Amino acid sequence: MTRSKSLPLLLLLGSLILLLSGCHKRGGDEGINQQISWQTIHVERAYTDTLTPRTWQDTTLSVPTYTVSLDLLEPTAEGDAGVIADSLRSYLVACHALEGPDYEAQTSLQSYLDSVVAQGLEGFISDLVRAKTLMRDDAESPTALLSFFAEEMIKSDSLTYNQADLVSVKISQYDFSGGANGATSIRSANYDLKHNTPITVHQLFADGSEDKVNDLLLAALMKTFGVDSPDALADKGVYFYEEAKMKINVVSRKDIDQILEHHILHSMVIGRYTSFRPGTRIIDVGTGGGLPGIPLAILFPECHFTLIDGTGKKIRVTRAIADAIGLTNVEAVHTRSEEWQGRYHFIVSRAAMDLSDLVRTSGHLIDRREQLNALPNGIITLKGGDLTDELRPFRKSVEVVEIKSLYPELEYYDTKKIIYLPLH
């Protein structure tokens, strides 16, 4: 099989993101990682305006409130590693893009976050006072104006990968402001401790980065797949998608050169959204060429995956890929979800059908009794575009996460979303 020079590198990068998604945690910390300690800095503030005159309150509207909860990770270290920890801490603060004072001018992360929250509350109260003044001066002003003074921000960090001189932190955020629907975002901050520099998708794809990528990733990738040479990675299926997609149309022909970005990386984001506990049973409905099922099966080797599709030739390719990689936690079945029987904790799917159709044809597969994970059993599907009409029937229970918050450098994900629907 002939491969271009760039293709193995791109698939190595796909495996990097697999590695940094927080699901491979084999082995202990190495190198600089051991010298850095982590603690969570917590700041919380809740303010309710008790001075809003009753004559301005509508029984259907909320009293103005301002709520903030921050749980940010702080890396610290002594000696030479302290310089790296300081740079890493500054990078993580920058990733949060908090509005407030200059971080570098503060004495500690705690004092900085205290100042951010205090300044935000001060601005909120100032705007509220001005709004009340306008309402006094203009009797025609609607009382509903005060309902826009409801702000909530929740931020939290979690350390998802910390070894081999690499660090990955998952940043979760929820924002609610001005009476609009709340927005949830998840992104990752990746850092190269050895070279004391952030790692971004843009940097990895930049010209001249091939040596850097190999230095950072190859050893960790070979360790993850249990091989001792780069060539042996092919035997583990790292490159097998190149051969399979050329034999049969398991992905769109126009996407052949974009299989990393448009397919493998897209499948992996579910592993960023949630972590499945050992023993979790997951069914991939309409798996096509094994996406998202196969990448997820690599991420979660102690979970069982059933991959089903109504097209026999696609299932044959899926089986071949799973066999080549040596996955023992995957079964690929030629069937339709309406005809399949079994009980699973989660259904995953990648734009196989409308959510209503997915619930109708596959909802019976969800186990309503056994609950293994923090996330309630249900459907996790990857979709794109305007989903307003499709999600309207589920608006009270569905959760939508914008994937662009994970990969802002990649235009392909500007309209892509993770959709989660609990089915109790």
pLDDT tens digits, residue range 363-413? 999 999 999 998 999 999 999 888 889 999 998 899 998 888 766 766 777
Give residue 291's pLDDT.
85
Q: What is the mean pLDDT of residues 170-187?
A: 71
Q: What is the mean pLDDT of residues 273-287?
A: 92
Q: How far apart are CA 39 and CA 25, in angstroms?
A: 19
Q: What is the mean pLDDT of residues 51-68?
A: 64
Q: How far apart are CA 314 and CA 249, in angstroms?
A: 8
Nearest to 351 by CA among 244, 276, 257, 255: 255
The CA–CA distances, whole Å, from 201 to 92, 246, 263, 326, 337 equal: 16, 26, 16, 28, 36
Cis peptide before 292 (omega within 30 of 0): yes
Residues 130-162 have pLDDT tens digits of 777 766 555 444 455 666 677 888 999 988 778
Q: What is the mean pLDDT of residues 312-334?
A: 81
Give residue 2's pLDDT.
34
What are the contacts of 324-328 at 24+ separation with CB within 8 A? 324/235, 324/236, 324/237, 324/240, 325/236, 325/237, 325/240, 325/294, 325/298, 326/236, 326/237, 327/294, 327/297, 327/298
Contact 225, 234 (CB under 8 A): no
Range of lowest pLDDT (254-268, 345-359, 374-388, 394-408): 254-268
Nearest to 81 by CA among 162, 169, 196, 191: 196
Q: How far apart are CA 18 and CA 221, in angstroms?
A: 10
Give residue 55's pLDDT.
52
Q: Residue 179: pLDDT above 90?
A: no
Give residue 245's pLDDT.
40
Give residue 342's pLDDT.
92
Q: Residue 356: pLDDT above 90?
A: yes
Q: What is the mean pLDDT of residues 228-251?
A: 48
Which residues, 6 or more positions from 378, have their beta carbon under 8 angstroms from its beta carbon? 346, 347, 366, 420, 421, 422, 423
Q: Residue 297: pLDDT above 60?
A: yes
More confident residue, 365 or 171: 365
More confident residue, 272 or 8: 272
Range of lowest pLDDT (106-115, 198-207, 226-235, 332-341): 198-207
Q: Residue 85: pLDDT above 70?
A: yes
Range of lowest pLDDT (55-64, 72-81, 335-344, 392-401): 55-64
